[in-house]
Amino acid sequence: MDDGMLDIFIFKGLGWPYALRHLLHVSSGRYLRDPAVLQVLAHNLKIKTSPDVALQVDGEPIGATPAAISLAPASLDLLVPSQAPRDLFCKQPIRGL
């Protein structure tokens, strides 16, 4: 979670049949094995579309394309249960609850 990389998932396909398929695969955890899902790691991301489309982050509108997205290192504090797997984070130590 603290490796400084964005985990980007691209779900291929348009329309309700694809949306339903992806929703079912995400809810069952099978999306990582789906050939219609592309996973990419990156430090930053530039999004361009034609035509421009609205963007949302966590369900909140943030603007429209084109857009540039990047991480702000060490900008998010997390409370982590003491039983969380140690390999979840790169940097140690973790202070548990």
Q: Which architecture, in CATH terms, is 6-88? A: Sandwich (2.60)
pTM for the complete prediction? 0.64
Compute CA distances 42 → 26, 27, 45, 57, whole Å. 21, 24, 7, 18
Task: Give the residue among 53, 54, 89, 47 at the shortest CA–CA distance from 70.
Answer: 47
Predicted confidence pLDDT, tens digits, the chain (97 residues): 677 888 888 888 888 988 898 888 889 888 888 888 899 999 999 999 999 999 988 789 999 999 999 988 777 777 778 888 877 777 655 554 4
